[in-house]
Amino acid sequence: MTGPIKTVGVIGAGQMGSGIAHVCSLAGFNVQLHDLSEDRINAGLATINENITRQVAKGVISDAEHQAALERIRPTLAYDDLSACDLVIEAATENEEVKRKIFTNLCPSLHPDALLATNTSSISIMRLAAATDRPERFIGIHFMNPVPVMQLVELIRGIATDDATYESAQEFIAKLGKTSTVSEDFPAFIVNRILLPMINEAIYTLYEGVGSVEGIDTAMRLGANHPMGPLQLADFIGLDTCLSIMQGIHEGLADSKYRPCPLLVKYVEAGWLGRKTKRGFYDYRGEQPVPTR
């Protein structure tokens, strides 16, 4: 039987990892935050501090809770420091080879009963579990971005994931104050299986000249009541991420309707990846975003 989760390890201090560490520490879990360099960890800790400070300013949490949360996070560069963790969540870059290597190197440091999870948005849970020494104690825990704000977490069982692991993961998500939904282990799970083809279709709509960037985003914001237009959302997610998820769906399901739009490929090849590079479907270098088409 799996014991209660008290200490959580997070591998990767980037956007997703720092967000996961943030919500875990605020919910009262001790967190070990791991990355390859001190600079990356410090950047992650700075982001966490900034985001929690924003929550204090909004009156969502108190100063005391802010301080207590920060004190619960311990930075580490060594896998051996994760030996006391009850659950370790991998939130490294969305690359299967990188993730498999992490699991292979990490497993010898873990407690035999520790649960292992991946925050992948589209890679097969079964294939990642096969790179570990505990496929039955392995599960997909896919947080949405930005983690502190988004309410949903997808839980994805691999073919070997046992009931105790799944139940522990469900309890853990509930303690974070979030809602879990269960997905089968198919390419892109639920949210991205529906969302990314919609974004891809919006890019085709632009590519075929049906509408302009502004026209498409306005249409979906006001016509479908979406909080953000699909092209604006693509820039926020990162066009490289959108492309890699579409490629994963296309390859995994072998259906031509999931073919990534050539315009998306062109933008990624140009290095126009959205907000993070200051250019995508919008140009973010000025005061206001300006459509690039």
Which domains are present in the chain?
A: 7-183 (3.40.50.720), 191-291 (1.10.1040.10)
Q: Is 145 helix (H, G, I), strand (E, B) or coil?
A: coil
The reply to whether 90 belongs to the active site is: no
Given a cut of 70, the residues of the chain with pLDDT beneath it are 1-2
The reply to whether 105 belongs to the active site is: no
The DSSP letter of residue 94 is: S
The reply to whether 168 belongs to the active site is: no
Burial of 106 (0-12, 13-18, 19+ CB in 10 A): buried
Residue-wise pLDDT for 163-209, tens only, equals 999 999 999 999 999 999 999 999 999 999 999 999 999 999 999 99
**Model's pTM, two decimal places?**
0.93
Which pLDDT does position 243 carry in this prediction? 96
Contacts of 270 (CB under 8 A, 6+ apart): none
From 192, 200, 244, 250, the catalytic residue? 192
Look at strands 87-90 and 73-76 and give their pairing.
Answer: unpaired
Which pLDDT does position 1 carry in this prediction? 47
From 34, 142, 168, 180, the catalytic residue? 142
Which CA distances in Å does 275 have to 15, 120, 157, 237, 278?
13, 21, 33, 8, 5
Which pLDDT does position 175 carry in this prediction? 98
Half-sphere exposure of 121 (CA within 13 A, CB side): 22
The reply to whether 200 belongs to the active site is: no
| Cα four-point dihedral sign 108, 170, 63, 145 | positive
The answer to whether 120 and 245 have CB atoms below 8 angstroms apart is: no
From 34, 154, 180, 200, the catalytic residue? 154
